Amino acid sequence: MELNAKIPPGPLKDKWSFYKDHAKLVNPANRKKMDVIVIGTGLAGSAAAASLAEMGYNVKSFCFQDSARRAHSVAAQGGVNAAKNYKNDGDSVYRMFYDTIKGGDFRSREANVYRLAECSAQLIDQAVAQGVPFGREYGGYLNNRSFGGVQVSRTFYARGQTGQQLLLGSYQALMRQVAAKTVKLYTRHEMLDVVVIDGKARGVIVRNLDTGEIERHSAHTVILATGGFGKIYYLSTLAMGCNASAIWRAHKKGALMACPSWTQVHPTSLPQSGDYQSKLTLMSESLRNDGRIWVPLKPSENRKPNDIPESERDYYLERRYPAFGNLAPRDISSRAAKERIDAGFGVGPQRNAVYLDFSKAIKEQGKGRIKEKYGNLFDMYRKITATDAYVEPMMISPAAHFSMGGLWVDYELMTTIPGLFALGEANFADHGANRLGANSLLQACVDGYFIAPYTVSNYLAGEIKSERVPIDHQAFIDAEVQVRAQLSKLLEINGTKTADYFHKTLGKLLYDYCGLSRSKEGLIHAINEIKKLRADFYKDLKVPGDEDEMNGELEKAGRIGDYLEVAELMCLDALTRDESCGAHFREEYQTPEGEALRNDEKFCFVSAWKWRGEGQEELLIPEPLHFENVELAVRSYK
């Protein structure tokens, strides 16, 4: 199988314009006859649903939350990037493109990344028009701050709640279309399978989470905007509901999965405080603009942070990466923190944290200015820890966060199943092996507002003569039978262990062997242990209740069952990549200084994986990466 990324011809800066100029169109009268299904109501999903409905398509929008505005995009805090060069500090579309390519350790497509940077300026204008309350300077101009991996200020922000404010904008656009009856919104519905007819995505099977009813919905195209799967680690910055099931069920129907082992560990989370926790709290990376990260010079230090003099502190990021300091990229910053913690210099009750100190910034700028920029984050920290970070340093620790991997998509964001698109974090497209901060909100918005309306229409132009598929088609019947069989299988096990037990066990396995660092020996061990855990899952799982009722444990069990398969592929993907790049750090491949050692000669490709059936190892299909506009270089932030 050969992968075709469908990258348009011509110079890099003209590719997206060329595509838009030559994309096929659907006239307004025909749009009314065409149905679109969008799964997910986060930034990518709500933006796509609202935009396509505004164009005249009939849209069905699904989410498993009780409200579309509860999507996990609300959790993104620090900001959204755009190459507007408001600070006149040398920023440009090309520089943002290069920062993103470099930040991803040269493992992403040039064309996709350049389009992301190119569309970024439009997004800010769109968001302002929607009323997003971005931070402003005294004179009224939009303000910017820096994020990790860059040396310019291109991040637009709404204090520490940028994701929530952007989502409110897209939510309002979505609900406007709901009121206009161009979007039919299905809350508390979870997609359990994609229906493929004649090789094309033509519908979905969903479960009503309030009643347990299984429903069939057909359409001319299906869009998955279901977010990432970082929650596979159990303890992560993601909400408990985040999962991989939608993209995994699509994968098993023929959509390739790309680079699943590229999962990001965020450097500024609150540390774990006990076994009772089900998630960790993210503190925005924007705090690294003014906060300085350090650990005591003496291991097992027992003094309070304010009692430790400057001469006895190790500002290790400033020491190791002087050019970027505390704004080193996430993968590098997280590994550096883990190295200090593992070496015995960790702080806090469990010695699993480092300090993030604002004393210098408060002294230079004043408490009022720091409060203006990060006030709600400081408030959140105080409520959780009972510590005033204006007076005493925060304690932070690395935590599983973002999935750079996801469904393989081409330039049009279409998977290897024609008619099935994947947007936002559900696809692998823009971030390579490591995502730069504030690019996730950007990608989700750009995919939904500016890319999908063109590419989905281009596909639908070839489907105008396709009749609506009746939901009593045999493919729908077969898919529903399969879904019901899986639900019954989970209920009939009637073992002794909860879904959470398996999730916790799996998460620890992955964090230990396929987390911040990996090794051949550890990955082989993890794969064997995951297979044993999966066998135990289908032998000793306990799911109380029934299928035809509200059943949260049944929902969780289905997602954990998928996670156990995703986890095995994550480890296999990491095992086959004999190099260190971005978030993928193989202990066997590092420089004498402990930095990542990339192998461009053998591994300059995207790892796309094909499902070959139950019990069979997946097939690796590489997509070679070609760099015509940047020179591959050792990534250095020193």
Asked if residues 353 and 283 have their Cβ atoms less than 8 Å apart, the reply is: no
Listed residues 401, 428, 447: the one ending a domain: 401
pLDDT tier at 203 (50, 70, 90 boundaries)?
very high
Residue 3 domain flag? no
Please tell me whether residues 85 and 227 are part of one structural domain: yes
Please tell me whether residues 357 and 310 are part of one structural domain: yes
pLDDT tier at 443 (50, 70, 90 boundaries)?
very high
The predicted structure's pLDDT at residue 148: 83
Please tell me whether residues 595 and 533 are part of one structural domain: yes
Listed residues 358, 382, 401: the one ending a domain: 401
Picking from 538, 473, 464, 469, the residue whose alpha carbon sits closest to that of residue 502 is 538
Domain that holds residue 231: 39-262+404-463+473-638
Residue 505 domain flag? yes
Please tell me whether residues 205 and 65 are part of one structural domain: yes
In our burial notation (b when 16+ CB lie closer than 10 A, e otherwise), range 17-47 reads eebeeebeebeeebbeebbbbbbbbbbbbbb
Give me the number of domains the chain comprises. Answer: 2
Asked if residues 282 and 239 have their Cβ atoms less than 8 Å apart, the reply is: no
C-alpha distances (whole Å) from 205 to each of 39, 202, 254 are 11, 11, 16
Please tell me whether residues 52 and 165 are part of one structural domain: yes
Count of Cβ atoms closer than 10 Å to residue 85 Cβ: 18
Residue percentage of the chain with pLDDT more than 90: 93
Please tell me whether residues 240 and 276 are part of one structural domain: no
Residue 79 domain flag? yes
Residue 73 domain flag? yes
The predicted structure's pLDDT at residue 229: 97
Rounded to whole angstroms, the Cα distance separating 245 from 577 reads 25
pLDDT in tens, 50-108: 999 999 999 999 999 999 999 999 998 889 999 999 999 999 999 999 999 999 999 99
Please tell me whether residues 307 and 347 are part of one structural domain: yes
The DSSP letter of residue 158 is S
Listed residues 349, 369, 401: the one ending a domain: 401
Strand, coil or helix: what is 511? Answer: helix
Please tell me whether residues 318 and 430 are part of one structural domain: no
The predicted structure's pLDDT at residue 637: 85
pLDDT tier at 159 (50, 70, 90 boundaries)?
confident
pLDDT tier at 149 (50, 70, 90 boundaries)?
confident
Please tell me whether residues 328 and 397 are part of one structural domain: yes
Residue 17 domain flag? no
The predicted structure's pLDDT at residue 355: 98
Please give the average per-residue pLDDT across 135-142, as a whole number. 92
Residue 520 domain flag? yes
Residue 147 has pLDDT above 90, yes or no: no
Picking from 398, 290, 265, the residue whose alpha carbon sits closest to that of residue 341 is 398
Question: Residues with catalytic annotation?
Answer: 330
pLDDT tier at 257 (50, 70, 90 boundaries)?
very high
- CA 400 to chain centroid, in Å, comes to 11
The predicted structure's pLDDT at residue 354: 98
The predicted structure's pLDDT at residue 205: 98
272 Cβ contact partners less than 8 Å away, ≥ 6 residues apart: 235, 280, 350, 352, 397
Q: What is the pTM of this model?
A: 0.96
Please give the average per-residue pLDDT across 481-507, as a whole number. 98
Picking from 62, 151, 85, 51, the residue whose alpha carbon sits closest to that of residue 436 is 151
The predicted structure's pLDDT at residue 590: 94
Please tell me whether residues 232 and 243 are part of one structural domain: yes
The amino acid at 292: R
Q: Which CATH number covers residue 365?
A: 3.90.700.10
Please tell me whether residues 626 and 512 are part of one structural domain: yes
Please tell me whether residues 273 and 258 are part of one structural domain: no
547 Cβ contact partners less than 8 Å away, ≥ 6 residues apart: 212, 484, 487, 488, 491, 554
pLDDT tier at 275 (50, 70, 90 boundaries)?
confident
Q: Which CATH number covers residue 48?
A: 3.50.50.60
Residue 345 has pLDDT above 90, yes or no: yes
Residue 1 has pLDDT above 80, yes or no: no
The DSSP letter of residue 236 is B
Picking from 417, 406, 413, the residue whose alpha carbon sits closest to that of residue 458 is 413
The radius of gyration computed from the CA coordinates of the chain, to the nearest angstrom, equals 24
pLDDT in tens, 15-55: 999 999 999 999 999 999 999 999 999 999 999 999 999 99
Please give the average per-residue pLDDT across 182-190, as a whole number. 98
pLDDT tier at 325 (50, 70, 90 boundaries)?
very high
The predicted structure's pLDDT at residue 77: 85
Asked if residues 191 and 426 have their Cβ atoms less than 8 Å apart, the reply is: no
Asked if residues 508 and 563 have their Cβ atoms less than 8 Å apart, the reply is: no
Phi-psi bin for 171: left (phi > 0), alpha (psi -120 to 50), beta? alpha
Residue 6 domain flag? no
Residue percentage of the chain with pLDDT more than 70: 100
Sign of CA dihedral 479, 481, 486, 487: positive
pLDDT tier at 533 (50, 70, 90 boundaries)?
very high
Residue 31 domain flag? no
Average pLDDT across the chain, whole number: 96
Kind and range of the H or E run holding 619: strand 619-624
Structure-block tokens of residue 85: 């060069």
107 Cβ contact partners less than 8 Å away, ≥ 6 residues apart: 259, 262, 432, 433, 581, 582, 604, 606, 625
